[in-house]
Amino acid sequence: MEQNPVPGHEALVPPDADIARRYLDEAQAVTERRDRAVDRRALAWLQIANAVVIAVYLGAFAWVLRNAAPLVPQVILFTFLMWSQLATGIAQRNGMQMRMSRARWPIVVAGAAVIIVALVLFGFAVWDDRLPQIVMAIPSGLVLVALGGYGVAQLIRAAGDPPPRPPVQAPLSRPTRWGTALVGVAIGVLVLLGGAPEGVVTSILMLLVVLLLLAWILAARTELGLPAIGAVWRWPHVLAFAVAAAVLLTFIGIRAGGVGADLPVTALAGAGVVALLVAVSFVRGRDPRD
């Protein structure tokens, strides 16, 4: 009886104890090299950041839907999709991704159950006016605990990893710089329209959302695509995007609350968002991997 040979080949001579020991040492060394090569902590932090983003957007969605602000949910969805594309690039630049496997199905089932409960509560919170406003926060809280908790678990698992190498910095390439500026233009225009009259907002927002989404879908396979942009962004770029999204959400919240900002104010804020992203496009990013 021999070992499992490669089909069509004779069974190889089995290793002696010394060779076997060297193979076992190599398996350990490979694992250590992998943990040095990929930054599992960064992936865990990204998971936590995604949980926070989803929780915030779910809360904002509930708020604007309950206050029946026309088309504003699409603006929120557009910004959220933009982030999810950027986050895809940020996740992939480490050279490692976590995939669902059979061993992880209990986590998947538990996570899916929490998300379903959160969505049901989201529906009640949005369409049942008798429920207090605080109910709108429950779906966000559940998502934050479920997805953020998974991120924290990943962070704990990576606690023993060696410190990651600092990323090699490089100026953003021309397409990526243009892409970063375009992100600013997209959010800036949406901020600007937050102060426009209702009828104009309705038609222009719809047109812009569709056109911008279409443009980015077409550009997804180029250096102008959002995943490629996210892959080279460092923290200053991500921070600038977060500030821009926060400005947009603030004006959306104000509008949904029935107050409404004046057009000059939103125009100024929109211009500020564009200027911020254009400025940050000149900040050095990560050197793209080969």
Binders in 230-259 for other proteins, by CB under 8 A: 231
Within a 10 A sphere around the Cβ of 268, how many other Cβ atoms?
15
Q: How far is the CB of 8 from other proteins (least distance, A)?
A: 11
Residue tagged 């809280």 (tokens)? 141
Q: How far is the CB of 159 from other proteins (least distance, A)?
A: 16
> Which residue among 77, 96, 114, 196 contacts other proteins (CB under 8 A)?
96
Using the rule CB under 8 A, give the single segment among 34-42, 53-61, 116-124, 135-143 that binds other proteins.
34-42
For 119-141, b/e burial (b = at least 16 CB within 10 A) is eebbeebbeeeeeeeebbbbbbe
Residues ≥6 apart with Cβ < 8 Å to 183: 82, 86, 226, 229, 241, 244, 277
Structure tokens, 126:
């949005």
Q: How far is the CB of 193 from other proteins (least distance, A)?
A: 30
Tell whether residue 174 is a contact of other proteins (CB under 8 A). no
Q: How far is the CB of 72 from other proteins (least distance, A)?
A: 32
Tell whether residue 162 is a contact of other proteins (CB under 8 A). no
> Which residue among 101, 166, 199, 235 contacts other proteins (CB under 8 A)?
101
Residue 224 or 252 having the CB closest to other proteins:
224
Q: How far is the CB of 48 from other proteins (least distance, A)?
A: 18
Tell whether residue 169 is a contact of other proteins (CB under 8 A). no
Residue 285 host element (H or E): strand 285-286
Residue 140 or 154 having the CB closest to other proteins:
154
**15: three-class secondary structure by DSSP:** coil
> Can you tell me the distance from the alpha carbon of 216 to that of 33, in angstroms, rounded to the nearest whole number?
37
Residue type present at position 250: T
Residues ≥6 apart with Cβ < 8 Å to 144: 51, 52, 54, 55
> Which residue among 151, 194, 227, 253 contacts other proteins (CB under 8 A)?
227
CA-closest candidate to residue 147, choices 97, 95, 108? 108
Within a 10 A sphere around the Cβ of 279, how many other Cβ atoms?
14
CA-closest candidate to residue 232, choices 41, 94, 97, 36? 94
CA-closest candidate to residue 121, choices 108, 106, 136? 136
Residue 23 or 127 having the CB closest to other proteins:
23
Residue type present at position 62: A
Helix-helix angle 40-66:72-92, to 10 degrees: 180
Structure tokens, 74:
């699409």
Binders in 271-290 for other proteins, by CB under 8 A: 288-290
> Which residue among 73, 89, 141, 260 contacts other proteins (CB under 8 A)?
89
Q: How far is the CB of 157 from other proteins (least distance, A)?
A: 11
Using the rule CB under 8 A, give the single segment among 18-26, 117-125, 183-191, 249-257 that binds other proteins.
18-26
Residue 13 or 134 having the CB closest to other proteins:
13
Q: How far is the CB of 149 from other proteins (least distance, A)?
A: 17
Residues that bind other proteins (CB under 8 A): 1-6, 9, 11-12, 14-17, 20-21, 23-24, 26-27, 30-31, 33-34, 37-38, 89, 92, 94-104, 221-223, 225, 227-228, 231, 288-290
